[in-house]
Structure formats: structure tokens, C-alpha cells
């Protein structure tokens, strides 16, 4: 492969996303940011469906430099593969169920260029494209994330997540990259916390993206159960990244009630009255996942601390 002069690396870590990956890929290909200044790194988690075939078909339609890797060790490991192989100054993280607006990458890069102290900038969620049909579950989940990125500027949020984020390469490499010992989820919270501790600021910037949400209560339960199970490992490593008081049922439900007026102003939909129930449902799923994660014995003989210490990026 010829040498790269990429300013931006688009990192897509994906697994079994055949229903949504085509739109996600197309939104990357359609970016108005110069393709000669972009590269795409796809890490497939050994998908068992048509995800990889769809990705390869999409890539036939672009002149963007691409690399495809395969892994089966977890999301943190997949993200570290992107970090290790990126030639860009920035990484824009795109999930398999995301849709970027055409100017998303351009706006994110412009923001980072103008703010050299920022390590991570999160884009802003928007409701899925007009005319699409959403059920109650997807609508409530969308509203929740809309509220989380309402305000632009520096943020103290400990749960930005990677989706729709742009990372400064120097910031993520400075802190040793993602911790591959975190299985499941939580690698993003851990990285955000360490980047902030290293002196970088985290922001919400004005670049819009969409996510295709879960369509059933069962799938939502499974997602947050998985989050809770992965959260156990992160809690063991550094419990301070969690705002535990916000997870207490009375406080969490009251906080959601207080968000209803803002949610209604944003959407003008009465379904937002269900936000407290929706949030409680997710927290319960997370709690059961957390308990399940605590009861499972690690298959690795190394301790968590030992594992973390060897996971250091070598430039």
C-alpha cells in the first residue's frame, strides 16, 4: 500500500451489523472532507453474518485508502488495533449503526484544529432522518441521547462514548491507548478518564450524526445487560469513573422526571413522559449484568493490573 498523508483515520469496529452497516459505510464514503486526507480502518469482530461482505461491496465505490483487520478478543482490543495502525492526526469513531451528516468529519477536524487543548470532541446526536418510523423504545433512547449532547462546549461527562467522537491521536497514545483487558464494554469510559487526567479537555462540538436505535425492549435489555457485565471489570479497575449516586433508583428516576420538560421542548412528543420508566428499565438491566459479571471467573491467569500494565502503545 502506498504511503499515507491522511489527516483523519476513520475507525469502524463492527460485529454482526448486516442490517445497518451499509448506511453507516455510505455516510463515511459520502463525506465532503477530501478523501486523499482520509483513511478507513475496519476491525471486524469475526462477524457471523454478511457484515464483512457488505463492507467490501461498499469499499468498491470509494478511492479512500482502507485496511481491514479481524479480531476476536473484544472491543477494547479492536479499538487498539485502530490506534496502532492509524496514520492520521485524528481518529473519528463510527459504529456500525451510525449515520454521519455529510460535513461531519470536516466540522470535527476544524474544531480540533482550532482547539489544540481538546483530546476528545463528541458530535451531537440528532433524531433519525425525517419520515422514518420509530417505535417507543427507539424514540425514548433517541431522546435520552439528544439530551446528553444538548449543550456544546467543555463537558465533565464520564460517559461520552466513542460513537461520533473524534480523538486526537497524540492524546490516546500518550495515555497508552485502550486497555485491552477490559472485555465487553467500558474501554471508552476508561480512556476518557485517563485522557482527562493527562490534562486534555473533552468537549461536545457542533457536528451532527444519527444512530439507528434498538427496536424492542428485549434488545434494549440485552444491550444494557452487556454494558453492566463489562462495567464490572471497569469498576474493579477504577470505581471512581462511575457516578454511583446517579444509579440509585430514587435519584435516577427523579433526575429523569426533571428532564421531561427539556425533552418535550426538543420533541413535542408526549412519549417523553415514559423517560423515567425507560431509564429505570436500563439501570435494572445494567445492574443484573453487573452482578452476572461479578459472578463470572476470569479465564485469564494474569491479574487485571498486570494485564493493564503491559497494554502500552509503542510509537
Looking at the DSSP bridge assignments, the partners of residue 9 are: 39, 91
State the pLDDT at residue 309. Answer: 34
Residue 199 — left, alpha, or beta (φ > 0 → left; ψ -120 to 50 → alpha)? left
Cα(218)–Cα(110) distance, rounded to whole angstroms? 40
**pLDDT tens digits, one per residue of 105-115:** 999 999 999 99
Return the pLDDT at 249. 64
Query: Fold for domain 8-310?
Result: Spore Coat Polysaccharide Biosynthesis Protein SpsA; Chain A (3.90.550)
Relative orientation angle of helices 51-59 and 21-29, to the nearest 10 degrees: 20
Beta bridge partners of 65: 39
Of the candidates 277, 282, 141, the one whose C-alpha atom is nearest the C-alpha of residue 224 is 282
Give whole-number Cα distances, 239 to 13, 37, 66, 176, 233, in Å.
26, 39, 37, 20, 9
Q: Are 70 and 44 in contact (CB under 8 A)?
A: yes
Q: How much is the pLDDT for 241?
A: 63
SS3 43: strand
pTM of the model: 0.83
Q: 212: which 3 cell numbers?
A: 439507528
Domain boundaries, the chain: 8-310
What stretches in the chain show pLDDT beneath 70? 1-6, 128-134, 158, 184, 232-233, 235-249, 293-315
> How far apart, in whole angstroms, are the C-alpha atoms of residue 8 and residue 107?
12
Q: Which triple of cell numbers denotes residue 137?
A: 423504545
Distance of CA 99 to the CA centre of its chain: 13
Give pLDDT, residue 65.
92
**Coil, helix or strand at residue 124:** strand
**Model confidence over 22-48: pLDDT tens digits?**
999 999 999 999 999 999 999 999 999
What pLDDT, on the 0 to 100 scale, is given for residue 229? 77
Start-to-end CA span in the chain (Å): 20
C-alpha torsion 300→305→310→313, nearest 10: 120
CA 213 to chain centre: 13
Containing 41, the helix (H) or strand (E) segment is strand 38-44
Q: Where are the alpha helices (DSSP H) in 62-175?
A: 75-85, 104-114, 136-148, 169-174
pLDDT for residue 247: 62
Q: Give whole-number Cα distances, 258 to 40, 147, 151, 158, 264, in Å.
A: 41, 12, 17, 20, 11
Amino acid at each position: 500500500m502506498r504511503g499515507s498523508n491522511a489527516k483523519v483515520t476513520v475507525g469502524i469496529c463492527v460485529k454482526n451489523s448486516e442490517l445497518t452497516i451499509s448506511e453507516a459505510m455510505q455516510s463515511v464514503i459520502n463525506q465532503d472532507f477530501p478523501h486523499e486526507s482520509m483513511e478507513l480502518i475496519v476491525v471486524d469482530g469475526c462477524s457471523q453474518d454478511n457484515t464483512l461482505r457488505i463492507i467490501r461491496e461498499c469499499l468498491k465505490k470509494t478511492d479512500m485508502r482502507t485496511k481491514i483487520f479481524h479480531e476476536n478478543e473484544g472491543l477494547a482490543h479492536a479499538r487498539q488495533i485502530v490506534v496502532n495502525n492509524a496514520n492520521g492526526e485524528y481518529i473519528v469513531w463510527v459504529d456500525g449503526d451510525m449515520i454521519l451528516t455529510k460535513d461531519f468529519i470536516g466540522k470535527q477536524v476544524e474544531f480540533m484544529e482550532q482547539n489544540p487543548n481538546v483530546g476528545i470532541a463528541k458530535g451531537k446526536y440528532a433524531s433519525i432522518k425525517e419520515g422514518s418510523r420509530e417505535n417507543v423504545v427507539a424514540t425514548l433512547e433517541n431522546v435520552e441521547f439528544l439530551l446528553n449532547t444538548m449543550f456544546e462546549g467543555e463537558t465533565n461527562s464520564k460517559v461520552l462514548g466513542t460513537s461520533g467522537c473524534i480523538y486526537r491521536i497524540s492524546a490516546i497514545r500518550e495515555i497508552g491507548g485502550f486497555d485491552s483487558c477490559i472485555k465487553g464494554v467500558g474501554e471508552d469510559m476508561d480512556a476518557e478518564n485517563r485522557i482527562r487526567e493527562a490534562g486534555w479537555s473533552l468537549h461536545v462540538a457542533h457536528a451532527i450524526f444519527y444512530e439507528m436505535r434498538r427496536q424492542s425492549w428485549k434488545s434494549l435489555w440485552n444491550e444494557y445487560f452487556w454494558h453492566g457485565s463489562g462495567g464490572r471489570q471497569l469498576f474493579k479497575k477504577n470505581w471512581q469513573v462511575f457516578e454511583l449516586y446517579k444509579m440509585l433508583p430514587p435519584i435516577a428516576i427523579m433526575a429523569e422526571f426533571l428532564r421531561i420538560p427539556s425533552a418535550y421542548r426538543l420533541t413535542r412528543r408526549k412519549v417523553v413522559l415514559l423517560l423515567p420508566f425507560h431509564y429505570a428499565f436500563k439501570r435494572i438491566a445494567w445492574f443484573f449484568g453487573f452482578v452476572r459479571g461479578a459472578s463470572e471467573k476470569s479465564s485469564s491467569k494474569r491479574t487485571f493490573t498486570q494485564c493493564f500494565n503491559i497494554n502500552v502503545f509503542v510509537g
